[in-house]
Amino acid sequence: MVNTVIFDFDGTLIDTNDVILASWQHTYRHFLGHDVSVEHITKTFGEPLMKTLAREFPDVPPQESAEVYRTYQRKMAADMVKLFPGVVEMLQTVKDRGYKIGIVTSRTKESTMNYLEMFNIGGFFDGLVSCDDTSIHKPNPEPLLMGLEKLGASAEESIMVGDSIFDIKCANNAGVKSVLVDWRVASDNENLSQCQIDYKITAPLELIKVLEEVK
């Protein structure tokens, strides 16, 4: 019986797609002098920021490029970041039905907490694993297993909801049922046939039907 729901954060609960794209383009312009294709950026969605920065700007210390990226994102967040429609209602329903709710994200804890406070949704969650908590990241199962441990849940009792191949592979590797959200921004190169998608939902409240099915 499923009693625990783990969510990815960006692209799943909050719509950071526009601010992430804008922040990356700002960073590329700052260090390389030009924009890159949207497809080049979206294929990195779900990957830890520092890993992407080290690969994309090998001659720049990652902390330096991260400061450029994060400073711009903080500046633009209030105008560009929003909750996906239906997320609050979905979280309230899941909470009211007695499920434990967690977040496993590749975002920093400070940034995640800032957004939880911005949208007043932090009270829905019983645990958080961020990129600060582990040096090993999705699709490795370690962050998800750490989240389950924090919540006192087993893989068999849990389900993970995410928007990227990193999330779904992480769930697969941890032995957790997977839910792919259909409001995500997908890369054309994303090969989801590489992983096992147990459920797909096209709106947040459809998760309730999934939870009823996996009882």
Active site residue: 8, 10, 15, 126, which one? 8
Question: d(Cα 153, Cα 104) in Å, to the nearest integer?
Answer: 14
CB 145 within 8 A of CB 174: yes
DSSP 3-state of 215? coil
Question: Is 8 a known active-site residue?
Answer: yes
In degrees, rounded to 5, the angle at the alpha carbon of residue 99 between the alpha carbons of residues 185 and 143 is: 55
**Token digits of residue 78:** 């209030």
The residues, ordered by sequence, that sit 6+ positions from 48 with a Cβ below 8 Å of its Cβ are 106, 131, 137
User: Tokens 């909801």 appear where?
Assistant: 161
Cα–Cα distance measured from residue 88 to residue 169, given in angstroms and rounded to the nearest whole number:
26
CB 11 within 8 A of CB 21: no
DSSP run (H or E) holding 15: strand 14-15
Residue with tokens 């019983």: 126
CA 41: distance to chain centroid?
15
Residues annotated as part of the active site? 8
